[in-house]
Chains A and B, each alone.
Chain A
Amino acid sequence: MSTKEWPLWEVFIRAKQGLNHKHVGSLHAADLQMAIENARDVYTRRMEGVSIWVVESKHVHASEPSEQEALFEPANDKIYRHPTFYDLPEELNHM
């Protein structure tokens, strides 16, 4: 007896109004309604959230770890993108 495994869903929870939804983990569910209900039971037993997003895991596309350098290295030497790069006089407070 082997039946098809329920699909995997990624769960995102908004902890409170004003914050973004944050990835908290995953779970299996037959459909999106069950995914949301299960996410409520598994990830918000202690008032951890006010809103839930579920996304079927197969729809998440990720960057390759091997491309990490190519993707993120270019930002490394662009220190002029940070406010501390600029020399300003001391007396100019708060800019």
Chain B
Amino acid sequence: MEIKLEALFQDKIDQEIKIEPRDWMPEKYRKTLLRQISQHAHSEIVGMLPEGNWITRAPNLRRKVALLAKVQDEAGHGLYLYSAAETLGMSRDEMFEELHSGKAKYSSIFNYPTLTWADMGAIGWLVDGAAIMNQVPLCRTSYGPYARAMVRVCKEESFHQRQGYEIMLTLSKGTEAQKALAQDALNRWWWPSIMMFGPNDDNSPNSAQSMKWKIKRFSNDELRQKFVDVTVAQTEILGLSIPDKDLKWNEERGHYDFGVIDWEEFFQVVAGNGPCNKQRLKARVDAWENGAWVREAATAYAEKRELRTKNQTEAA
């Protein structure tokens, strides 16, 4: 029976028929999606922290409203994704619990500090740029609620990248000191950004199954290469240079070659030893715990109001 169901399921996937919450699905498909979508949601939520750091210190009102709107969008993206994940049978509180206990991961990039205003530029341009590269194919992912959430996310994401690039452009056309600030931000964010695509394909054991189930459409290395290829030209317009001496055009491949990624650093940050892991997680746990009384008060108020309405109806 199970085998027959699984064959029917794969057949639907092959025909590009979306899977919806109440449809039969293999347990591993459900688990893989739940892990991926909740991680993605956590990344949006934790991703607000490095940028939230600069909202009060944005250089002018135009930059401030844009950054506020971007951070607000990220909260929204987290919420779309948590909703999609909940359709797979895990409650919101359980997901928070997994994040707060360190059981669930989020994108490692957010464990790096935002030291200068230029980091707001580099994050929008590179981190959101890499995220878009990953997210656009996810709009066609096989699980309906995830695909629909990603369509919304992608629509909103392009403003994020453009506002970041504009910050970089302004700085790189400014004084020597401003240009140096932009270059410094690029230097620090470049490698973590290209790590965002995850381990190399031959080191990414679950990729093949995810591709077969059409959760993923492109491999980590394919997406990383695409990102490097488009980013080089964007860097030239800025008049900045990518901190990789091995970066050069390969005529034969029709792609840029680039240097070896420091995977040791990547795995260290994933394991919790990045520069800001503890700080980020603490900020989330504090927000959750300090907000408990608000959640309780809202529940109590809702119950009281419901009771009052009921009594009024009965009296009438």
Q: Within residues 232 to 283 of chain B, which ones have a CB less than 8 A from any CB in chain A?
A: none
Q: Is A51 an interface residue (CB 8 A)?
A: no
Question: In the complex, which of the residues B22, B23, B302 contacts A30, with contact meaning CB atoms closer than 8 Å?
Answer: B302
The answer to whether A65 and B295 touch (CB under 8 A), given A26-B86, A42-B79, is no
Cβ–Cβ < 8 Å partners of A46 in chain B: 156
Tell me the count of chain B residues lying within 8 A, CB to CB, of chain A: 30
Residue of A42, A45, A62, A64 ringed by the most chain B CB atoms within 10 A: A42
| CB atoms of A30 and B298 under 8 A apart | yes
Q: Is A55 an interface residue (CB 8 A)?
A: no
Cβ contacts A1-12/B at 8 Å (1 or 0 each): 111111010000
| CB atoms of B298 and A34 under 8 A apart | yes
CA distance A65 to B25 in the complex (A): 12
| CB atoms of A6 and B299 under 8 A apart | yes
Looking at chain A's contact residues, is the secondary structure mostly helix, strand, loop, or mixed?
A: loop
Cβ–Cβ < 8 Å partners of B29 in chain A: none
CA distance A41 to B91 in the complex (A): 22
| CB atoms of A27 and B298 under 8 A apart | no
Cβ contacts B290-311/A at 8 Å (1 or 0 each): 0010011011011001100000
Question: In the complex, which of the residues A1, A26, A34, A45 contacts B72, with contact meaning CB atoms closer than 8 Å?
Answer: A45
How distant is B192 from chain A, measured CB to nearest CB, in Å?
28
Cβ–Cβ < 8 Å partners of B299 in chain A: 3-4, 6, 30
| CB atoms of A5 and B292 under 8 A apart | no
| CB atoms of B92 and A28 under 8 A apart | yes
Cβ–Cβ < 8 Å partners of A45 in chain B: 69, 72-73, 76, 156
| CB atoms of B298 and A6 under 8 A apart | yes
| CB atoms of A5 and B301 under 8 A apart | no
| CB atoms of A5 and B91 under 8 A apart | yes
Cβ contacts B38-82/A at 8 Å (1 or 0 each): 000000000000000000000000000000010011001001100
- B-contacting residues of A (Cβ < 8 Å)? 1-6, 8, 25-28, 30-31, 34, 41-42, 45-46, 62, 64-65
Listed A/B pairs (21) with beta-carbon separation below 8 Å: A1-B289, A2-B93, A3-B295, A4-B299, A5-B93, A8-B86, A25-B80, A25-B149, A30-B298, A30-B301, A31-B305, A34-B302, A41-B72, A42-B79, A42-B80, A45-B73, A45-B76, A46-B156, A64-B22, A65-B20, A65-B22
